[in-house]
Amino acid sequence: MRFSLDTEQREFGRTLARLLAASDAPAAARAWARGEYGPGRALCQRLGDAGVFALAVPEKHGGCGPLPVEIAVAFEELGHHAVPGPLVETVAAAILLGRLGGVGAAEEWLPRVSTGHALLSLAAPASDGYALDAETADAVVVAGETEVRLWRGACGAAGPEPADGNARACGVAGGQEPLDAVIGGGPGAGSSLDPVRRLSRPPRGGEPLAHGPAARAAVEEATLWAAFATAAQALGVGQALLDRSVEYARQRRQFGVAIGSFQAVKHRLADVLIGLEFARPLVYGAAVALAAAPERAAADVAAAKVAAGEAGYAAARAALQVHGAIGYTAEYDLSLWIGRARALRCAWGTPGECRRRVLTEPFHK
């Protein structure tokens, strides 16, 4: 089967690529790692203006989704440009709230997510109960096996966004203690393999949203979409690492010639390219499966996740070998993608978990 994007989808990807190239996303990622969220929040707002988050929000809440193929296009570009923030989690939480439908939280949060005025994080069993960037999220959806709750972040109040885009500058709504005040610097906080990503374990409590079979179904669907968006993001990260490695191999000279002329380097980069090219149709095949029947897309998404995650990780290892010692330095921008590739490989489903699902779940037909 051949998966080919239509003209509008390709133009959407090119538009995002131009927007992100002009926004200096690596600088925003470095600021995010230092706890300076303003540039990253401003970039997420521009992504919202471009319609990225609306792709996951139902039309009745101001979006145009869910549109899995377009989400794959968007997240491949987000990975390619190392955009920081809980982007996958915002999409997954939007899917969860949209599935719950009538709850007040959907009415309150989804229109804001659609326009990029709110970022959400998601803690679920598939993430071992950790939420990404909870301290700067406007709200965190905490999903258990049979219940869903919501913690408001420091920007949890509906209304105008802060001028500097920094979540810490917001006030607190409804008398609830903000999540960043509960977990900030506490024992539940920590860093992932990617220093730009900060993981936190939300405490018990929060606003109850749903429980029982409806909650379980919504959490399962949100987890599936999180794994899918992570796969697309890993694909973009791997492509960025390959592009940078090829460019460096053309410029770096040894023994009077470019190292890209060495057969060992050519073969290593060719292996990376093959891995990415094999992963890409699996990612877009999973998008087609999600569009047709999300309830039967688990194996397709798992196959895409393991293929893209392993391809991105292989690209990171090859990039380190091609770049040599400079590839290990945190000051060199390559480190942003290397750390991201390592983290995304296991986020929302380890390779082992995904392989087990491929073996036990039926594929979409």
d(CA 37, CA 43): 10
* Cβ contact 13:73 at 8 Å: yes
Residue with tokens 């592009």: 243
Sequence-ordered list of residues with C-beta below 8 angstroms from that of 47, at least 6 positions apart, any chain: 16, 19, 53, 74, 78, 83, 87, 116
| Bridge partners (DSSP) listed for residue 149 | 142, 208
242, exposed or middle or buried, with CB in 10 Å at 0-12, 13-18, 19+? Answer: buried
Token pair, residue 124, equals 């679920």
Q: Which domains does the chain have, with CATH numbers?
A: 7-215 (1.10.540.10), 223-360 (1.20.140.10)
In this prediction, residue 365 carries a pLDDT of: 59
d(CA 232, CA 77): 9
Token pair, residue 359, equals 């073996």
From the list 116, 118, 192, 193, the residue with the least C-alpha distance to 156 is 118
Give 144-169 pLDDT, tens digit per residue.
988 999 998 754 443 323 333 333 32
Token pair, residue 142, equals 């905490």
Token pair, residue 143, equals 């999903």
- Preceding omega of 281 cis (within 30 degrees of 0): no
In this prediction, residue 94 carries a pLDDT of: 96
pTM score of the predicted model: 0.90
In this prediction, residue 203 carries a pLDDT of: 82
In this prediction, residue 190 carries a pLDDT of: 55
d(CA 55, CA 3): 20
The count of C-alpha atoms lying within 13 angstroms of the C-alpha of 25, restricted to the half-sphere facing its C-beta, is: 25
In this prediction, residue 1 carries a pLDDT of: 57
d(CA 155, CA 138): 5
In this prediction, residue 205 carries a pLDDT of: 81
332, exposed or middle or buried, with CB in 10 Å at 0-12, 13-18, 19+? Answer: middle
Task: Give the alpha-carbon dihedral of 46, 50, 55, 58, to 10 degrees.
Answer: 90
Residue type, 158: A
In this prediction, residue 183 carries a pLDDT of: 44
The count of C-alpha atoms lying within 13 angstroms of the C-alpha of 221, restricted to the half-sphere facing its C-beta, is: 24
Token pair, residue 91, equals 């999409």
In this prediction, residue 102 carries a pLDDT of: 64
d(CA 31, CA 25): 10
| Bridge partners (DSSP) listed for residue 143 | 148
The secondary structure of the chain, three-state, reads CCCCCCHHHHHHHHHHHHHHHHCCHHHHHHHHHCCCCHHHHHHHHHHHHCCCHHHHCEHHHCCCECCHHHHHHHHHHHHHCCCCCCHHHHHHHHHHHHHHCCCHHHHHHHHHHHCCCCCEEEECHHHCCCEECCCCCCEEEEECCCEEEEEECCCCCCCCCCCCCCHHHCCCCCCCCCHHHHHCCCCCEEECCCCCCEEECCCCCCEEEEECHHHHHHHHHHHHHHHHHHHHHHHHHHHHHHHHHHHHHHHCEECCEEHHHCHHHHHHHHHHHHHHHHHHHHHHHHHHHHHHCHHHCHHHHHHHHHHHHHHHHHHHHHHHHHHHHHHHCCCCCHHHHHHHHHHHHHCCCCHHHHHHHHHHCCCCC
Q: How do the pLDDT tens digits run along the chain, 365 residues long?
A: 566 899 999 999 999 999 999 999 999 999 999 999 999 999 999 999 999 999 999 999 999 989 999 999 999 999 999 999 999 999 999 999 999 976 788 999 999 999 999 999 999 999 999 999 998 999 999 999 889 999 987 544 433 233 333 333 232 333 344 454 444 433 344 557 788 999 998 887 889 999 999 999 999 999 999 999 999 999 999 999 999 999 999 998 889 898 888 999 999 999 999 999 999 999 999 999 999 998 899 999 999 999 999 999 999 999 999 999 888 788 899 999 999 999 999 999 999 999 999 998 877 65
